[in-house]
Amino acid sequence: MKFKITMKDPDGVYESIKDAADASLANVEGLSGHERNELIENRVEQIGESIGKWFEYKEYLTVEIDTDKQTCVVVEN
């Protein structure tokens, strides 16, 4: 049997993206707090655009589960 599940978690997606953006700047030295925050927000925006293939409105994720094959696949928007 196949079925789809759509999950909504705007805070989780945003916070995960922000954490990834922050971590990508961990080894960059010489930035002021303001510069770092600007870079983080810029990367959050870039990452948000790049995940649009899987996340609708940056908060909805749909997976398709196949119980016969025992698989779970992210559905592209």
pLDDT of residue 8: 96
2-59 per-position pLDDT tens digit: 999 999 998 999 999 999 999 999 889 999 989 999 999 999 999 999 999 999 998 9
> Phi, psi at residue 75, to the nearest 5°?
-90, 130
pLDDT of residue 77: 87
State pTM to two decimals.
0.79
pLDDT of residue 26: 86
- Annotated domain spans of the chain: 2-74
The candidate with the shortest Cα–Cα distance to 56, out of 10, 20, 17, 19, is 10
Q: How far is CA 43 from CA 23, 27, 48, 63, 65, in A?
A: 11, 15, 8, 26, 32
Q: How far is CA 57 from CA 6, 64, 65, in A?
A: 13, 19, 22
pLDDT of residue 73: 98
> Phi, psi at residue 53, to the nearest 5°?
-65, -30
pLDDT of residue 62: 97
